[in-house]
Structure 1
């Protein structure tokens, strides 16, 4: 008769420590595409551009902060469910963060698609051919991404 040691406590301790090694960042990263990082910042916070003939106001159209506010509880619940898979050794700790990052990106992209206020100026709608305030070519939406960072 052969007895196998199934003590997973050391493995569990290592796995739990590994969970603390990572974090997830979501957004448009300037090192990847500084133009769209600037566009994201302008829309997220708004800006007033002073010109000799007056000013141009681009109103705040928060798509990052508002998504975080609206989805935070759902994201926590998702992470808690994924944590069970980590503790059961079905997925690696890093995988939890990758899955969470992908979910967050999808939710933010959906917000960009659905956001309709404040509306574009009539002249902007005519120029773009669309009334969606955050989508012109789709470049901003496509550049929302995530990265898992090791601390």
Structure 2
């Protein structure tokens, strides 16, 4: 029968990392509170209308956010692990870097989204056929923030 020995250094290292992780840090990525259009409309409201559609207005769902999560989230655990290692176990630094990664993924999703196509009347009004982009305000409003203990409560 095989037996395993050792692992004390790994246990100590994981213990040290665990002491710095208190579970009170939170990374928020998306359309943060306070992000508005010039007329005061919350960007999150417009993003949700795009994401889920507005059947009452003939607007189909364009699930750019859910697709981004489906495509990228399987790798987030591995990525945060690498970032923790690269930052010496500093969870605030790792989460800040991860926020930047996810922000970029969400912006790419908005830029690359093509289906369902826009209605011909919308294309005529806008002058181009790119869904989710009209003024690019929603795209530019994607942001992230780290809140909680160990973080600096700062927005990127």
TM-score by length of 1: 0.78
**Larger Rg over CA atoms:** 1
* Secondary structure of residue in 2 paired with 1:29: coil
Q: Does 1:104 align with 2:102?
A: yes
Q: Does 1:39 align with 2:54?
A: no
CA RMSD of aligned residues (A): 2.0
Q: Which residue of 2 aligns with 1:72?
A: 73
The offset of 1:134, in angstroms, is: 0.5
**Cα distance in structure 2, aligned partners of 1:17 and 1:133:** 46
Unaligned ranges ≥5, structure 2: 1-11, 150-156
**Cα distance in structure 2, aligned partners of 1:16 and 1:73:** 22
**Cα distance in structure 1, aligned partners of 2:19 and 2:55:** 46
Structure holding more strand per residue: 1
Q: Which residue of 2 aligns with 1:16?
A: 18
Between 18-27 and 64-73, report the one with greater CA deviation: 18-27
Q: Which residue of 1 aligns with 2:85?
A: 84
Between 141-150 and 17-26, report the one with greater CA deviation: 17-26
The offset of 1:150, in angstroms, is: 0.9
- Could you tell me which of 135, 138, 143 is aligned with 1:137? 135
Q: Does 1:26 align with 2:29?
A: yes
Unaligned ranges ≥5, structure 1: 1-8, 50-55
